[in-house]
Amino acid sequence: RKEVEQDPGPFNVPEGATVAFNCTYSNSASQSFFWYRQDCRKEPKLLMSVYSSGNEDGRFTAQLNRASQYISLLIRDSKLSDSATYLCVATYNNNDMRFGAGTRLTVKP
Amino acid sequence: GAGVSQTPSNKVTEKGKYVELRCDPISGHTALYWYRQSLGQGPEFLIYFQGTGAADDSGLPNDRFFAVRPEGSVSTLKIQRTERGDSAVYLCASNERPGSPLHFGNGTRLTVT
């Protein structure tokens, strides 16, 4: 089993839609979780950290469910500029960071 | 301030050759990570340094791959006897302390012909 697994996608949604991505992690001892955004042929960039109580940043909401070992990302009111690949990250042994395969989102006019 | 710097940005080499990829992390960041990313895939973990020592090298695919960080700052990823399957983007990242977000360099695109 991979350390971090994500919805395979791709997701194609119209502007203004709400879209949710899920991700599961294998190590119950994982402590830190993040969502990254990666544009085509660019490096990943931090979108938001994921906190135990859930957290929101504008149109983006992240949730953590430790019992089921999954994290989620909700994007409300999708914009064309949200089109990208979204990567979830969890710490693994010794605090190294493991990435999911990524979920590609395309927002269409 | 300066971000993570990786050189070269592109490297084309012939099968069987040796290559070195360099990463200069953000000043003061104690942890440094190497990942490999193929098209359509997420970053694949290779090795993680805490200071000068490799805290976890379990992601290195075989003994052709080796990485060093002798002074706890700049790191070099070394690949011997390159194979076409080694072609990928090699990403380096650093963070301020364990568990804090990673900051990535622009990557080195390696092509083995």
Query: Which tens digit of pLDDT belongs to each residue from B17-76?
Result: 999 999 999 999 999 999 999 998 999 999 999 999 998 999 999 999 999 999 999 999
User: Residue A35's pLDDT is what?
Assistant: 98
B80's tokens? 């011997």
Beta carbons of B56 and A44 less than 8 Å apart: no
Q: Give the confidence band of B104 by pLDDT, cuts at 50, 70, 90.
A: very high
Average pLDDT, chain A: 94
Paired with A19 in beta bridges are A75
Residue among A43, A46, A92 whose CB faces B101 most closely: A46
Give mean pLDDT, residues A11-27: 96
* pLDDT at residue A103 greater than cutoff 60: yes
| Rounded distance between C-alpha atoms, residue A87 and residue A71, angstroms | 11
Nearest chain B CA: its distance from A91 CA (Å): 7
Residue B89 has pLDDT above 70, yes or no: yes
Under 8 Å between Cβ of B19 and B111: no
Per-residue confidence at A95, pLDDT binned at 50, 70, 90?
confident
- Report the pLDDT value the prediction gives residue A100, as an integer from 0 to 100: 95
Which one of A42, A95, A99 has the shortest CB-CB distance to B98? A95
The three-class DSSP label of residue A95 is helix
Contact in structure between B91 and B105 (CB atoms under 8 Å):
yes
> pLDDT at position A69, please?
95
From the CA of A2, how many Å to the nearest CA of chain B? 11
Q: Which residues on chain A are in Cβ contact (under 8 Å) with B93?
A: 97
Q: Does B35 sit within 8 Å of A34, measured CB to CB?
A: no
The reported pLDDT for the residue numbered A94 is 65
pLDDT at A10 over 70: yes
Smallest CA–CA distance, residue B82 to chain A, in Å, is 23
Q: Does residue B77 register a pLDDT over 70?
A: yes
The predicted model gives B106-110 an average pLDDT of 98
Helix (H) / strand (E) element for B104: namely strand B103-104
Measured CA to CA, the distance from residue B26 to residue B37 in angstroms comes to: 21
pLDDT at B1 over 70: no
Contact A96 B33 (CB under 8 A): yes
Q: Which one of B101, B106, B107 has the shortest CB-CB distance to A34?
A: B101
Which of the four pLDDT bands, split at 50, 70 and 90, describes residue B81? very high
Residues of B with CB under 8 A from a CB of A: 31, 33, 35, 41-45, 48, 50, 55-56, 58, 91, 93, 98-107
A25 touches chain B (CB under 8 A): no
Output the CA–CA distances (angstroms, integers) from residue A84 to A87, B60, B76, in the order listed.
10, 28, 30
CA–CA min distance A23, chain B (Å): 13
